[in-house]
Structure 1
Amino acid sequence: MELRGKQKRFLRSKAHHLQPIFQIGKGGISGPMITQIGEALEKRELIKVSLLQNTDEIATDVAHILTEEVHCQVVQIIGRILVLYRPSSKEKYQRISKEVKAI
């Protein structure tokens, strides 16, 4: 499901108050980190990931890798911060996705 403009705007407004829960440093993005990001998206549906200054990774490259590996959607990239969204497969965690579908 591709997000429409209004849905992305709604998700950006929800993500504004969130703090990044993952930081990608000089070790780059690794397999265990990808797994943890997938698990966090399953429970939260909307997360922020930040790239530290000492990393060689580029935000757009990381966004592409995460889109392929975790099957999430990139809502926004601001500098070195990514906002990721994926609807949860478990109904008890589907708070944001129900609101997104209504838009």
Structure 2
Amino acid sequence: MNLSTKQKQYLKGLAHHLKPVVLMGANGLTEAVLAEIDLALNHHELIKVKIASEDRETKKLIIDAIVRETKAEQVQTIGKVLVLYRVSEERKIELPRK
């Protein structure tokens, strides 16, 4: 699923007030962290993940791995916070048309 610019803007607005639901620790991206992100996406559809990495390249690799493994869409990255969206079976968020 590819999000249009209009849809990303809509999701950014919804995510603005959210707090990160998954905080990645010093251990980096583990199976447990991926499982927690997957669970949070199933429950909320739109989440924030805080990534504990100072290095830009490492952070980019971690974000790419999260997106690939969870099959979610990257909505936005601001600093160490990643906003992810993935449609759940219950469809909690209605996106505007493309």
Mark the CA change 1:57 to 1:19 in structure 2 (over 3 Å): closer, same or farther: farther
**Which of 1 and 2 has higher RCO (CA within 8 Å, sep 6+)?**
2
SS state at 2:74 partner: strand
The range that moved more, 49-58 or 63-72, is 49-58
RMSD across aligned positions (CA): 2.1
State the partner residue of 1:95. 92
Deviation at 1:52, TM superposition (A): 2.9
Number of positions where the alignment pairs a residue of Structure 1 with one of Structure 2: 98
Letter in 2 for 1:95: K
1:50-81 residue CA offsets vs partner (Å, 9 max, x unmatched): 12367898332221001111100110010110
Listed as ranges, the gaps of 5+ residues in structure 1 are: none
Q: Supply the distance in 2 between the matched residues of 1:70 and 1:39 (Cα, whole angstroms).
A: 10
TM-score where L is the length of structure 1: 0.84
SS state at 1:58 partner: helix
Conservation of the 8 A alpha-carbon contact between 2:28 and 2:52: no
| Bigger helix fraction | 1
Q: Supply the distance in 2 between the matched residues of 1:59 and 1:15 (Cα, whole angstroms).
A: 20
Q: How is 1:20-59 mapped onto 2 (pairs within 5 angstroms)?
A: 20-52=20-52, 58-59=58-59
SS state at 2:95 partner: helix
Conservation of the 8 A alpha-carbon contact between 2:47 and 2:85: yes
TM-score where L is the length of structure 2: 0.88
Listed as ranges, the gaps of 5+ residues in structure 2 are: none
Letter in 2 for 1:34: L
Conservation of the 8 A alpha-carbon contact between 1:27 and 1:55: no
Mark the CA change 1:47 to 1:37 in structure 2 (over 3 Å): closer, same or farther: same
